[in-house]
Amino acid sequence: MSQRAEVRVTVIEELPVADLAVVNGRLVTPDGVRRGGLTVQGGKIAELVPHDERRPANKVIDAAGCYILPGLIDSHVHFRTPGLTHKEDWAHGSRAAAAGGITTVIDMPNTVPPLFDPADADAKAAGIAGTSVVDFCFHLGVDGARPELLATCTPRQAVSAKVFMAGHHTAPHVIREPDVLDRVFATAAKAELRLALHAEDDAVHELLDGWSGPPREYRDYEPRRPRTGSIVAVARVIELVRRHGTAAHVLHVSSAEEVDLLSAAAHAGLPVTFEVTPHHLSFTDKDTSRLGARTRLSPSIRNEADQRRLWDAVRSGGVTTIGSDHAPHTRAEKSRPVADAPPGLPGVQELLPAIFTGMRRRFPEDPPDLHVSRVAELIAASPADLFGLAERKGRLKPGLDADLILLDPDAVWMVRAEDVLSKCGWSAYEGWTMTGRVELTVRRGEIIWDRANQAFGDPTGRWLDASLSSR
């Protein structure tokens, strides 16, 4: 008699099949960098998966050893809509963002008309709907004639209110009068609304112009729009914060003195934070003589010692966020005579490459793990915390939106005008050799940039409600 086969059926607990698995990467998490991958379910991060484990998934992306970072948040862009769409629009700007590894942008209010009334945020979002590949929210503008509007602003309408203390071409609504500024700080404090500040003192610029005339050549630009204007304004901001307790985020800090003042104020317990930009970290006043209008910026690009201090604050703390201040102008506008060429450059696509390249060149002794961790902190986690998005964005964490990028840290490539995705079609970085390249950008589980295929996702970016309480 033959032996009977023993047939046995074992029921294995059914493993859920993920929508997407990313494998074979280096995860940049809040707790450090480690080999592994993650799964995505319903547009959210489902699980961080150790390197030696696999999960069933309908679609698998092999990260091929690339870093997996959280999708970046650029908290300072000017996508020029409405009214200035000859310079930029959301179709172009958001694709430039996606190609640069950015999955969320926060747009500035100095459009035509400006976003002064929180009630107009719905109309602005409606105008963007169906054109953006990245998620977005807004900063409100502050109208000096109607500071009471700040009191009505909800986090859904705007994540902060932007104050221009100095003016220029696209920023005609300047708050100069001390009593108005005082009211703005008091109103914002009461409304628990953060202020984002262009902190240069218009009166200082006017005084200097009256004495020595406005800049006539690009090499005059920094000396005629000097650090004095920024330092005076930052000191005033600190004083107003001390008086009212308003949360204040100072934008595009350009000088060593401002870094010191703001670091000291934060150390003293005042609710101040600050941003630096890739252009102040990448160029110096010497470049402005060479590049002319392309690096005509407001505040000015300063000297090497300032740049060193800014980098020091990026590497070792002090800086809260890095924002691109993506502010495109057409070539024709930039070709006007010195006094009339508008300040600003495109930068949303160059943000991550410029910062990562700068870190690797300036701090070659640091491991790249440290560099990507700083990037994830300053351009994802920190802006998410500051602007009320941390329950959804900013970290590789189960439950959060599946916004992530694959960064090849060793790719070396050159910035070329034909690759610029901004509508303006030029970059101050043309000819630069960059280290580190975004290979893939995923927003809420959807691929929105695939470099190998030069392909973008659908323009299904959403207006984010920041009213969920932050961490």
User: Which positions touch Zn ion (CB under 5 A)?
Assistant: 325
Catalytic one of 74, 107, 201, 325: 325
CA end-to-end span of the chain, whole Å? 71
Give min distance, CB of 52 to Zn ion, in A.
Answer: 46
CA 173-177-183 angle, to 5 degrees, is 90
Half-sphere exposure of residue 333: CA atoms within 13 angstroms, side-chain side = 18
Give min distance, CB of 246 to Zn ion, in A.
Answer: 20
Comparison of 325 and 446: residue with beta carbon closer to Zn ion: 325
φ/ψ of residue 354, rounded to 5: -65, -40
CB atoms within 10 A of CB 119: 11
Comparison of 38 and 351: residue with beta carbon closer to Zn ion: 351
Residue 437's DSSP bridge partners are 408
Helix (H, G, I), strand (E, B) or coil at 239: helix
Comparison of 325 and 401: residue with beta carbon closer to Zn ion: 325
Residue 37's DSSP bridge partners are 49
**Alpha helices in 84-176, H assignment, sequence order:** 90-99, 121-128
Provide the token pair at 46.
């489902």
- Distance, in Å, from the CA atom of 174 to the CA atom of 177, rounded to the nearest integer, reads 9
- Distance, in Å, from the CA atom of 91 to the CA atom of 132, rounded to the nearest integer, reads 6
Task: Give the chain's length.
Answer: 471
Nearest CA-CA partner of 283 in 258, 254, 314? 254
Amino acid in the structure at residue 362? R
Compute the radius of gyration of the chain from its Cα atoms: 23
DSSP H or E segment with residue 433: strand 433-443
Residues whose CB falls within 8 Å of the CB of residue 203, separated by 6 or more in sequence, listed in order: 176
Nearest CA-CA partner of 272 in 327, 234, 310, 223? 234
DSSP one-letter string for 186-250: HHHHHHT--EEEE---HHHHHHHHHHH-S--SGGGHHHHS-HHHHHHHHHHHHHHHHHH---EEE
Comparison of 67 and 164: residue with beta carbon closer to Zn ion: 164
Task: Clarify whether 325 is annotated catalytic.
Answer: yes
Give min distance, CB of 108 to Zn ion, in A.
Answer: 5
- Distance, in Å, from the CA atom of 380 to the CA atom of 393, rounded to the nearest integer, reads 8
Provide the token pair at 419.
């690759």
CB atoms within 10 A of CB 264: 12
Comparison of 167 and 457: residue with beta carbon closer to Zn ion: 167
Comparison of 197 and 378: residue with beta carbon closer to Zn ion: 197
Comparison of 26 and 198: residue with beta carbon closer to Zn ion: 198
The residue of the chain with the least Cβ separation from Zn ion equals 325
CB atoms within 10 A of CB 67: 26
Q: Residue 389's Cα: distance from chain center in Å?
A: 13
Comparison of 111 and 373: residue with beta carbon closer to Zn ion: 111
Q: Which residues are the active-site residues?
A: 325
